[in-house]
Amino acid sequence: MQPNLHFNNMSEEFTDLHIEFSPDNLLLLNLAIAFIMFGVALGIKRTEFVEIKNNPKSVFYGILSQFALLPLFTFLLILVVQPLPELALGMMLVAASPGGNVSNFFSQQSGGNVALSVSLTAIATVASVFMTPFNFEFYGSLYLDKEHIQKITIEFWPMFKTVFTILIVPLLAGLAVMTKFPKLTEKIIKPIRIISFLMLLIFMIVAFSKNIDVFSAYYKYIIVLVLLHNGLSFLVGYLTGKIARLPIKDIRTLTIETGIQNSGLSLVIIFTLFDGNGGMALLAAWWGIWHIIAGSGMAYIFKRGNDALEIANEIK
């Protein structure tokens, strides 16, 4: 069974909202996400998993920031700004999703702990099979009850199946290839990472451009919400690392990991399980574009911090 969304006493803003997204588009997005996770798995080495053993504190706080603090503070932000229900659910779903694989790239560019970033991406991907459905169902039900809107029915197992198929299966396949064909992996890993990043970026831009009229009509709801939510995500990761007194490289990685979410997975869930709910899809699509822009900016800021530190050390 698919989840049913019923909103009573709701603004009519999104009643007739239609997002152009065909079954072929959904298949392509599924394949793109699966290919990306395959590429992530190729870069996961056993030595990097030692990071979990040698640096358990940073790993613990990274997962805490990703799956406990971000969903909680997203819910609090929603209570403050009071967005329309579909937009609120879109925010919750993005917050409940694991970190995006592009976070590894931004972590490297920012001078962060890349091994920690890869470890957190791998752990978050596996954990998302359970945590994404749980967090979305928990906070979604809390918000809708509070707003006196008929409670939604969110089926855990269909969402579990979707996340498992798209993330875990290609992740295991990538690990198998990496283990059995290490020399081949070394040759193809960089091209695959570049191709996978471009695939998702191009897909997001093309899908967004096909719905530019819809975005133009509803941008006043979307832009500010995504800006606030993404800014909050980076802040949650940064403050978590600071309060935990982690090394500066680990703080940068936690900031990036928490601020870069797998919005592609969110879109797959929305179009697979929620019939392409317009408000949710529009918010997740813009998130997918914006967090790449914001991630680039954050990496640049951190990199400038690295340069300034090196200059200060040379002066000393």
Residue 180 to residues 4, 47, 184, 193, Cα–Cα distance (Å):
44, 16, 9, 19
Q: In terms of pTM, does the model score above 0.85?
A: no
CA-CA distance, 73 to 205, in Å (whole number)?
A: 28
Residues of the chain with pLDDT > 70, as a percent, come to 78
Residue with tokens 């909680």: 72
Instruction: Inform me whether the pLDDT recorded for 54 exceeds 90.
Output: no
pLDDT of amino acid 263? 81
Residue 278 contacts residue 249 (beta carbons within 8 Å):
no
Least confident residue range of 36-45, 115-124, 290-299: 36-45
Mean pLDDT along residues 258-263: 88
CB 70 within 8 A of CB 144: no
The answer to which of 103-107, 133-137, 254-258 has the lowest mean pLDDT is 103-107
Average pLDDT in the 258-277 region?
A: 81
Instruction: Give me the mean pLDDT over the 117-144 stretch.
Output: 83
Decide if domain 21-310 falls under CATH 1.20.1530.20. Answer: yes
pLDDT score for 251: 94
pLDDT at 116: 84
Residue 209's Cβ-side half-sphere holds a number of Cα atoms within 13 Å equal to 6
Half-sphere exposure of 90 (CA within 13 A, CB side): 28
Average pLDDT in the chain: 78
Rg, C-alpha atoms of the chain: 19
- Percent of the chain residues past pLDDT 90, beyond the cut: 21
Quick check: 68 pLDDT over 90?
yes
Question: What local confidence, expressed as pLDDT, does residue 64 receive?
Answer: 95
Tell me, what's the pLDDT at 316?
A: 47
Per-residue pLDDT, averaged over 115-142, amounts to 83
Q: What is the pLDDT of residue 124?
A: 84
The arithmetic mean of pLDDT across residues 268-288, rounded, is 79
Report which of residues 72 and 22 the model is more confident about. 72
The pLDDT value given to residue 233: 96
Please check the confidence at residue 4 and state whether its pLDDT lies above 60.
no
Q: How confident is the model at residue 5 (pLDDT cuts 50, 70, 90)?
A: very low
Quick: pLDDT tens for 137-165. 889 888 875 443 333 445 667 667 777 77
* Residue that is written with structure tokens 């803003």 in the block: 13
